Structure 1
Amino acid sequence: MTTTTTTNTLPAAKHFTLQQLADGVYAAIVKEHMGAFSNGGFIDLGESVLVIDAFLTPQAALELRTLAEAITGNPVRHMVNTHWHGDHVRGNQVYADVSIIATEITKNLMAEHLPARIAAIKEQAPAQLQALQDQFDNATDDAQKQAFAAELTQFHEIASTFDTLKITVPNVTFENKMTLHGSRRSAELITLGGGHSPSDIFVYLPQDKIIFMGDLLFVRTHLAFWNANEREWIEVLEQIEQFDADRFVPGHGPLGTIEDVRANKQYLLDLHQLVETHIQNDGTEAGLADLNIPSAYEDWDFYSMFPGNIQKLFAQLKAQ
């Protein structure tokens, strides 16, 4: 088994921290509030490099591409979008000259939804900026000021892209599996359907026993259900448990193990049971506000996702 290292020989980055997982395999673990928002990574195939995901901003994507080519000495020839959500694809324009790979479903969802979503973000930006600035100005202690300052930093990172942002959809698609071969290793791009989104890709490196999971995995972080199918997500995780892998790069959170994959599956099962019991007890949608985060997940990040997650489950279960 290859150990994970973060060494002084790796260049410092503004938007993420690079962690070497194997010779030629690197995870880019996001730095909070710096404009990347989600994790990514890159893989040296031998003569070329595969990049996983394009972050929330083009400047974060450009930084990763630049470092990937400098560290490996090889050109980036492929970039894969694990799914269609903005924090994984809004840097795609940096890769317009290479193969941008996704499923056909992901490509279509990007083309259908991103223009309106980005237009709405731009329209709402002035009011959001003023609200954040007011919160910062009215903060009563140092901790609050630091939190709002961080939010302002991220906001400005995003807003700085508004005039130059170009929606760039994938130009290569596949249905079930696509393997990229190189002299150093092969990378298997696999979709087992939906889960976190209507179509999710993970990248499996059998030689290195590593899987880049995209948002199929959140490590010690509340999962995001807004576009998810909870049953399909569980089924996908159960299949991934059968892969010969011992290190997992999540879409959000620190590097994980198979235990984190199992913890995500249990989170899905536990929230399902929580909401199902609520419904069986004649609980209402308004009554969801009285449900507490299960104790096993009280210290997980992104706790603000919990109310939306149980609301989504409530709607799905009531519709059955």
Structure 2
Amino acid sequence: MSQKAFASQGDLEEKKVSFVKLADNAYAYTAEGDPNAGVIIGDDSVMVIDTLATPVMAQGLIDCIRSVTDKPIRHIVLTHYHAVRVLGAAAYGAETIIASQGTYELIRERGEADMMSEYGRFPRLFRSFESVPGLTWPNLVFENRMTLWLGKTEVRIMHLGRGHTKGDTVVWLPREKVLFAGDLVEYASALYTGDAYLGDWPQTLENLRALGAEKLVPGRGEALQNAAEVNAALDGTKAFIDALFGSAQAAVAAGKSLNETYKATYAAMQPRFGNWVIFDHCMPFDVTRAYDEASGIRDPRVWTAERDTQMWAALEG
């Protein structure tokens, strides 16, 4: 492997945004593999699921919302704590910012470190970073699940297990059978697993599958428009996890170093997953976490900007 630019610092190409109607009251905001967001329009107000990375960037989503409704944006749901998902929240003027207990704990524990780490990794996604007023804090925190009624629209907000992080949250519209899955599910996009619980993630995916979604908004990739596409995305996500964690477990059992594990895992996964968005970005972080978990480090270590660059130099330098 030739030396690569750090993380996604070399990714400068702007992506085409799509605002896709999934039901009369539900929309997906996607951008060719950049982070997605979701929108639910209730009788009197709007809910936004994930906020984009800065208030300036959030304006693009707000413009899409205003193209279909003038109802106030009153609710935000954070699917997890990562900066690219939450730091645009100030733009919406929402009254309620909802997160799981696990997400709240992660913001408190490592939100500041994550903000600077992510900004360094993927500067294009943090356009006008100076517009971020600080960390985004939820003001409504739930343990496992809650239900919110937006007039006649039932919205179930649930933590169905650990995976991408310990606080992963999905938003489910049971009548419409639309699921907003956050980064628990990706479609034709590499999984970022630097903060993951890889041993738990496959079961969490099966918990999502049991909902019977007919449409699904993944964390990255196109909105999925039927049950067959939903199941294909769940299967693809699980295949990536199985390949990554299985390789790391075998390497640790064989006494291989992290560097040896990285080279072997990259070579094994590249033929199937190498054309997925941000594959080269994710793999050093992914293998580092997989190696840790396979070695018995139960909870992910905190990523900092300094740790990021040290790891990248060790594996890609």
Bucket of the pairwise TM-score, normalised by the shorter protein: 0.7 to 0.9
Q: Mark the CA change 1:118 to 1:280 in structure 2 (over 3 Å): closer, same or farther.
A: closer
SS at match of 1:316: helix
> What are the superposed Cα offsets for residues 106-150 of structure 1, whole Å, 9 maximum, x if unpaired?
12322333334446778x7xxx9xxxxxxxxxxxxxxxxxxxxxx
Letter in 1 for 2:50: D
1:111/1:261 CA distance change after superposition, 3 Å:
same
Taking the aligned partners of 2:108 and 2:248, their CA distance within structure 1 comes to 34
C-alpha distance 316-205 of structure 1, shift in aligned 2 (>3 A)? same
Distance 1:164 1:300 in 2: 30
Q: CA contact under 8 A between 1:84 and 1:109: conserved in structure 2?
A: yes
Contact 2:103–2:167 under 8 Å retained in 1:
yes
Of 106, 110, 122, the match for 1:109: 106
Q: Is the 1:24–1:72 Cα contact (8 Å) retained in structure 2?
A: no
| Cα displacement (A) at 1:161 | 3.0
TM-score (norm 2): 0.78
Secondary structure in 1 matching 2:130: coil
Number of matched pairs = 275
Q: Within the alignment, does 1:251 sit opposite 2:219 as a pair?
A: yes
* Per-residue deviation, 1:56: 0.9
Q: CA deviation at 1:57?
A: 1.2
Q: Which runs of 5 or more residues in structure 1 are unaligned?
A: 1-13, 129-150
Q: Deviations over 1:218-260 (max 9, x none)?
A: 1111111110000121111011111121221111122232211
Written as runs of structure 1 = structure 2, the 5 A alignment for 1:125-204 is 154=124, 158=127, 160-162=128-130, 165-204=133-172
Q: Distance in 1 between matches of 2:258 and 2:134?
A: 39
The alignment's TM-score, normalised by the length of structure 1, stands at 0.77
Q: Answer whether contact 2:19 2:64 (CA < 8 A) is retained.
A: no
Change (3 A) 1:120 1:243: closer
Q: What is the SS of the residue equivalent to 2:195?
A: coil
Partner of 2:190 in structure 1? Answer: 222
Query: Which amino acid in the other structure matches residue 67 of structure 1?
Result: C
User: Corresponding residue for 1:318?
Assistant: 295
| Distance change (3 Å), C-alpha of 1:259 and 1:66 | same
Query: In structure 2, how many angstroms separate the alpha carbons of the residues matched to 1:15 and 1:56?
Result: 17
Q: Please list, as runs of the form range in 1=range in 2, the aligned pairs for 1:1-320 lying within 5 A after superposition.
A: 16-30=17-31, 37-118=34-115, 154=124, 158=127, 160-162=128-130, 165-256=133-224, 257-291=230-264, 292-294=267-269, 295-304=271-280, 305-319=282-296
User: 1:204 & 1:269 partners in 2: Cα distance?
Assistant: 26
Query: SS of 1:102's equivalent?
Result: strand
Stretch moving more, 268-277 or 204-213 = 268-277
Question: Is the contact made by 1:194 and 1:200 (CA closer than 8 Å) also made in structure 2?
Answer: yes
User: Percent identical across equivalent pairs?
Assistant: 27
Q: Let me know the Cα RMSD of the aligned residues.
A: 2.6
Structure 1 residues 165 and 234: CA distance shift in structure 2, 3 A: same
Which residue of 1 is the match for residue 10 of structure 2? none
SS in 2 for 1:72: coil
Larger RCO of the pair (alpha carbons < 8 Å, separation 6+) = 2
Higher-Rg structure is: 1
